[in-house]
Amino acid sequence: MIDLHCHILPGMDDGSKNMDTSVQMCRIARQNGIKHIVCTPHITTIGDIDGFVRVRNAKLRELQDIIKQMDLGITLYPGAEVYVDDDIFFSTDLRRLAINGSRYILVEFAFRNVSMKRIVNYLNTIIDMGLIPIVAHPERYEYFQFDYDEVNMLIRNGVLFQINASSLASLDGPQEFELAYAMAFTGAASFIATDAHSSHYRMNDLLNMMNFFPPDISQFNMQMMVHDAAKCVLTDKEIPIINRSEIYKRGF
């Protein structure tokens, strides 16, 4: 499997605090069937992309060398979780934050008090740069939890979404679960990722969490979300939009 969203690089954000934790997260990943991890440290300001990329790449190389010596069989890829606000309108260098040099870029917004008009403007600005935005953990945003019509508008416009495995496993609250479930069931979510931050909480034990996923999500959708779509990202290929429909509240 491929983990498209993981805070595994030490000392870059609120994720792994040191190299020992990062190595342990790699062990947990391998035990849970993950062979490929995209390193996505938070970048909350885009004023110093050069410095961010320099530090990220150095830490990635160091961790990759260590796990190679340990023969863990895991490959790391560069990425970022880009916090998008009005500064996006003045940026010209976001491509350096894209996943593994592809056109795909993982983005997040403020969790509340952002208008849909603003979000659409942000996404269109990124698209105009020649990039393809992937919206991280949409189930965590209050304005999506209570208005599925807004999510459906983005689905109709081909926006890509990555849901967190912990949300689908009912570890993050009922509103998060309901929206993640709706998106996984209908194929509206293209990716499931761990969004892991540690080796002992917010973990990357994906196989364990999958035991708690709702059983009626199709095998096709699961395969797409844990591997096939992410492989397209890593190789900069188009993601086939198949078996995707609008979401609806399921009445839990």
Span 144-189, pLDDT tens digits = 999 999 999 999 988 999 999 999 999 999 999 999 999 999 999 9
For residue 93, count other CB atoms closer than 10 A to its CB: 11
What is the pTM for the complete model shown? Answer: 0.96
Delimit the domains of the chain by residue range. Answer: 2-234
What whole-number distance in Å separates Cα of residue 157 and Cα of residue 195?
Answer: 25
SS3 category, 104: strand
Tens-place pLDDT, residues 192-247 = 999 999 999 899 999 999 999 999 999 999 999 999 999 999 999 999 877 788 99
pLDDT at 251: 59
What whole-number distance in Å separates Cα of residue 190 and Cα of residue 187?
Answer: 7
What whole-number distance in Å separates Cα of residue 174 and Cα of residue 109?
Answer: 21
Contact 43, 83 (CB under 8 A): yes
Which class is 2-234 in CATH?
A: alpha beta
pLDDT at 161: 98
Q: Which residues pair with 38 in a beta bridge?
A: 77
Reply yes or no on whether the pLDDT at 252 is more than 70: no
Tens-place pLDDT, residues 100-136 = 999 999 999 999 999 999 999 999 999 999 999 999 9
What whole-number distance in Å separates Cα of residue 21 and Cα of residue 197?
Answer: 10
Tens-place pLDDT, residues 189-205 = 999 999 999 999 899 99
pLDDT at 240: 85
